[in-house]
Amino acid sequence: MLRDPHLMALVDLSLAEDLGPGDLTCESIFPDRREVAARFVAREPLVVCGLDMAAAVFGRLDPACRFSRKRREGDRVRAGSVLAAVRGPVQAVLGGERTALNFVRHLSGIATLTRRYAEALKGSACVLLDTRKTLPGYRRIEKAAVRAGGGHNHRMGLFDGVMIKDNHILAAGSISRAVRMARARIPPTVKIEVECSQIRQVRAALSAGADIIMLDNMPPARMRKAVEIVSGRALVEASGRLDLDTVRAAADCGVDFVSVGAITHGARAVDVAMDLVRS
């Protein structure tokens, strides 16, 4: 069950916007609370994600709903596969249908796309990471969808990692000054990453004591040189508009991580439907 108050708030917002003061259709057509059953069915091949959100939607609408998962997060399924079943009062089952589907379709879309990137990296030691290019309010569940698809998570937000970008360097004066100031004030449990687009920045970050060097939009040759320079003294991440055609080449430059914004912001919803079960 979903217990994260942030996610419950998102579910509540979602139900409020769709139901408002009530579902006119169900409330007028069904005078009693008859029980119905329905199934969530994949209409195309996909990687499953978002069933927790669907369960929360129905649980929040009516605690009398029973939602049962038929597949686990991260399962790869064929078209026609049943992902989950729900049984409950007709008002809740039909009233929650669209909101639940919208979550499952969106999150399974991210998991499905992530899986394709993960496969492109198969056999490589390089780890696939996501970014902060997620839909506002959806950070936690989109990052869970990345994990379901076989990716790993970069920092969750601005609070659990230091990432010094060109804007920060510009405003702070230099890489070494920025790293030194950060190190003196952040908790000892947090690492410092520096974004570099030039080799001289890589050297500066390294000597300032950065824990992670991020190579931003570098051509492969420059990336390989950067990896050589770092030579294990820091972790190295490749980033910058990587897609399915380019991600493997970046990984093969010897970096520890590739981070790909498109696995979240470039995914499309996959097709999942809810079918009422005739009893």
- Active-site residue list: 98, 133, 165, 195, 216
How many residues touch its own copies under the rule CB under 8 A: the total is 96
Residues in 228-247 that interact with its own copies by CB under 8 A: 235, 237
Reference 197, options 182, 211, 177, 217; nearest CA is 217
Q: How far is the CB of 102 from its own copies (least distance, A)?
A: 5
Question: Does position 39 bind its own copies by CB under 8 A?
Answer: no
Residues in 191-210 that interact with its own copies by CB under 8 A: 191, 193
Question: Does position 79 bind its own copies by CB under 8 A?
Answer: no
How far apart CA 49 and CA 146 sit, in angstroms, is 9
Segment interacting with its own copies (CB under 8 A) among 15-23, 74-82, 202-210, 242-250: 15-23
Residue 49 in 3-state DSSP?
coil
Selected from 112, 134, 201, 239, the binder of its own copies by CB under 8 A is 134
Selected from 71, 87, 115, 155, the binder of its own copies by CB under 8 A is 155
Q: Give 77-81 contacts, CB < 8 A, sequence gap 24+.
A: 77/42, 77/45, 77/46, 77/47, 77/48, 78/42, 78/45, 79/42, 79/43, 79/44, 79/45, 80/41, 80/42, 80/43, 81/41, 81/42
Selected from 45, 80, 157, 220, the binder of its own copies by CB under 8 A is 157
Selected from 185, 200, 221, 232, the binder of its own copies by CB under 8 A is 185
Asked whether 4 and 234 are in contact (CB, 8 A), the reply is no
Choose between 142 and 248: whose C-beta lies nearer to its own copies.
142
Question: Based on the number of CB atoms within 10 Å of its own CB, is 279 exposed (0-12), middle (13-18) or buried (19 or more)?
Answer: exposed
Segment interacting with its own copies (CB under 8 A) among 117-125, 182-190, 218-226, 242-250: 182-190
Question: Does position 94 bind its own copies by CB under 8 A?
Answer: yes
Asked whether 215 and 237 are in contact (CB, 8 A), the reply is yes
Return the ∠ at Cα 249 (arms to 268 and 202), rounded to 5°.
Answer: 105
Choose between 77 and 94: whose C-beta lies nearer to its own copies.
94
Choose between 221 and 277: whose C-beta lies nearer to its own copies.
277
Selected from 41, 46, 77, 212, the binder of its own copies by CB under 8 A is 212
Residue 214 in 3-state DSSP?
strand
